[in-house]
């Protein structure tokens, strides 16, 4: 079962920041937080990941609370192309140096509106 809880849907105005929350209160010390998104009729796409520090890349920022029990994905200037389902996943980085499977929940359906 997925170890995360996300709101089922959110709206965001185009050009504004989209803040997508994720609760992972049972996260273990060696588990990372990963975010993927799935645009309609496509496979999921990696966005960003982190362990305990905040992370930023060209797509988004990831803010992880100090106790690591929740995180927020931030899309700084949402566009219509960011309309998608966003999945928050927790997983160990490696299992005996072998990457384990990703377990997806139901995600948050983000609708960016003009």
Partner 1 sequence: DTGVSQDPRHKITKRGQNVTFRCDPISEHNRLYWYRQTLGQGPEFLTYFQNEAQLEKSRLLSDRFSAERPKGSFSTLEIQRTEQGDSAMYLCASSHDWAGYGYTFGSGTRLTVV
d(CA 103, CA 89): 7
Of 27, 34, 60, 84, which lies in the binding site for partner 1, with binding defined by CB under 8 A? 34
Task: Give the nearer residue to partner 1 in terms of CB position, either 19 or 49.
Answer: 49
Of 13, 17, 80, 103, which lies in the binding site for partner 1, with binding defined by CB under 8 A? 103
Q: CB of 101: closest distance to partner 1 in angstroms?
A: 5
First to last CA, the chain: 36
Task: Give the nearer residue to partner 1 in terms of CB position, either 14 or 32.
Answer: 32
3-state SS string for 60-97? CEEEECCCCCEEEEEECCCCHHHCEEEEEEEEECCECC
Is residue 77 a contact partner of residue 105, using CB atoms and an 8 Å limit? no
Q: Does 97 bind partner 1 (CB under 8 A)?
A: yes
Which tokens go with 4? Answer: 């995360």
Q: CB of 108: closest distance to partner 1 in angstroms?
A: 11
Give the residues lining the site for partner 1 (CB under 8 A).
2, 32, 34, 36, 41-46, 48-49, 85, 87, 91-94, 97-107
């Amino acid at each position: 079962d997925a170890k995360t809880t996300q709101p089922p849907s959110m709206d965001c105005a185009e050009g504004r920041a989209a803040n997508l929350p994720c609760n992972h209160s049972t996260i273990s010390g060696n588990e990372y937080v990963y975010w993927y998104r799935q645009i309609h009729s496509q496979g999921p796409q990696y966005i960003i990941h982190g362990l305990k520090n905040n992370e930023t890349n060209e797509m988004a920022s990831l803010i992880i609370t100090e106790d690591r029990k929740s995180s927020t994905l931030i899309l700084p200037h949402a566009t219509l192309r960011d309309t998608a389902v966003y999945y928050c996943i927790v997983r160990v980085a490696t299992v005996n140096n072998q990457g384990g499977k990703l377990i997806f929940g139901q995600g948050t359906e983000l609708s960016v509106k003009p």
